[in-house]
Amino acid sequence: MTNPSLLILPGDGIGPEVMAEVRKIIDWIGTNHGVNFEVSEDLVGGAAYDKHGVPLADETMAKAQDVDAVLLGAVGGPKYDDLDFSVKPERGLLRLRKEMDLYSNLRPAQCFDALADFSSLKKDIVSGLDIMIVRELTSGVYFGEPRGIFEEGGERVGINTQRYTETEIERGARSAFELAMKRNKRLCSMEKANVMESGILWREVVTRVAKDYPEVELSHMYADNGAMQLVRAPKQFDVIYTDNLFGDILSDCAAMLTGSLGMLPSASLGAPMENGRPKALYEPVHGSAPDIAGEGKANPCACILSFAMALRYSFDMGAEADRVEAAVEKVLADGIRTGDLLNEDGVKPASTSEMGDAVIAALNASL
């Protein structure tokens, strides 16, 4: 049996630092579970622009298409703010998503008991929170045409187009329903059918797909109300399915319910490959945090948990994924925290590498 292949794209800012801690987990899996990943590494974002003049080289894109999964750190930073839009670091990430056809973005929002006090909401509202937002990732307003800044009537006009086909809505919906079947069999679809034709089509297609999943309880909600409900009573939700723009906004909103962006992983999945596994890219929800880059202050947990998602969805290693997630939870319960998770004066935070070492120690203790 061939070894599973993984392309690592650390990216910019804190990306290389948090990815170094994931490397420890990969090595631990190889040593203790006999699964040796074929790991390659390349550039994306600003790092790629600095070397190649583009945020993602064609050769790197080809590598991403050939491996079992891609693991990405973060892209961007103020150094690149004045670049032309076409070569900004974020375009590298968007190219990966588009050309790999990663249409289903899974963003879990889970509040570990040890971090319930870090949420901006009351502890009883978020304690035990475990929801999954499924965001359609390759269409909608981020990709629709026409788009651009044009001259019209003597002034400039910015145009972006919200566009969805039935196929694009349906394939993402099926991903969401399949997840709901494995969880609590509840799915809430969010759009703006009251003011947007794309929302009307969205609701019609999701309702039609629901007939193939009679065990799943389907509800519909306008996305603005969904944002309000996420901060009012988030535990009413289990799986949320929504479009690219609303998913971007709602998942960041849900992220802060858990206490820190540094804790949240994500998976972007596409159509099955020849081996039956989906094309996939995994990345932490947080950004490149250039203000703390190189200082050993970054929280590696979101990137580690993103690798746990890769174990589950790309490598059929659910037990190992559970073990990694439990190790992270154990470390937090033991009070080991990076600076973003400390609210006590005089307590020295763990460094990025110390946090990674603590997860390894917890993994060793679990054997």
Q: How confident is the model at residue 240 (pLDDT cuts 50, 70, 90)?
A: very high
What is the Cα–Cα distance from 245 to 176, expressed in whole angstroms? Answer: 17
Query: By three-state DSSP, how is residue 113 classified?
Result: helix
Residue 5 clears pLDDT 90, i.e. is over it: yes
What is the Cα–Cα distance from 179 to 185, expressed in whole angstroms? Answer: 8
Tell me, yes or no, if 248 is annotated catalytic: yes
Q: How confident is the model at residue 36 (pLDDT cuts 50, 70, 90)?
A: very high
| Per annotation, catalytic residue among 88, 192, 279, 297 | 192
Domain extents in the chain:
1-114+261-367
Residue 304 in tokens: 């580690």
Q: How confident is the model at residue 17 (pLDDT cuts 50, 70, 90)?
A: very high
Antiparallel, parallel or unpaired: β 265-272 and 278-284: antiparallel
Q: How confident is the model at residue 88 (pLDDT cuts 50, 70, 90)?
A: very high
For residue 122, the model assigns a pLDDT of: 87
Mean pLDDT, residues 170-178 taken together: 96
Q: Cβ-count burial of 328 within 10 angstroms (0-12 exposed, 13-18 middle, 19+ buried)?
A: buried
- Highest CATH level, class, for 1-114+261-367: alpha beta
Q: How confident is the model at residue 2 (pLDDT cuts 50, 70, 90)?
A: confident
Q: How confident is the model at residue 277 (pLDDT cuts 50, 70, 90)?
A: confident
Residues whose CB falls within 8 Å of the CB of residue 148, separated by 6 or more in sequence, listed in order: 158, 159
> Nearest-CA neighbor of 160 among 78, 222, 96, 85?
85
| Per annotation, catalytic residue among 248, 297, 313, 330 | 248
Tell me, yes or no, if 142 is annotated catalytic: yes
Half-sphere exposure of 353 (CA within 13 A, CB side): 5
Tell me, yes or no, if 192 is annotated catalytic: yes
Tell me, yes or no, if 12 is annotated catalytic: no
For residue 1, the model assigns a pLDDT of: 56
Identity at 25, one-letter amino acid code: I
CA 60 to chain CA mean position, Å: 20
Residue 344 clears pLDDT 80, i.e. is over it: no
Residue 346 clears pLDDT 80, i.e. is over it: no
For residue 273, the model assigns a pLDDT of: 81
For residue 345, the model assigns a pLDDT of: 63
| Per annotation, catalytic residue among 130, 224, 316, 322 | 224
| Per annotation, catalytic residue among 101, 130, 252, 357 | 252
CB burial readout 188-206, b (16+ within 10 A) else e: bbbbbbeebebbebbbebb
Percent of the chain with pLDDT over 90: 81
Q: Cβ-count burial of 210 within 10 angstroms (0-12 exposed, 13-18 middle, 19+ buried)?
A: middle
For residue 304, the model assigns a pLDDT of: 97
Residue 239 clears pLDDT 90, i.e. is over it: yes
Tell me, yes or no, if 68 is annotated catalytic: no
Residue 343 clears pLDDT 80, i.e. is over it: no
Helix (H) or strand (E) holding 334: none
Q: Which tens digits make up the pLDDT trace of 294-324? A: 999 999 999 999 999 999 999 999 999 999 9
Residues whose CB falls within 8 Å of the CB of residue 179, separated by 6 or more in sequence, listed in order: 106, 132, 134, 239
Q: Which tens digits make up the pLDDT trace of 124-151? A: 888 889 999 999 999 999 999 999 999 9
Q: How confident is the model at residue 253 (pLDDT cuts 50, 70, 90)?
A: confident
What is the overall mean pLDDT for the chain? 94
pTM (2 d.p.): 0.89
What is the Cα–Cα distance from 41 to 60, expressed in whole angstroms? Answer: 9
| Per annotation, catalytic residue among 49, 80, 103, 142 | 142
Query: Angle 45-94-73 (CA atoms, 0-180°, nearest 5)?
Result: 45
Q: Is the dihedral of CA 227, 229, 232, 233 positive or negative?
A: negative
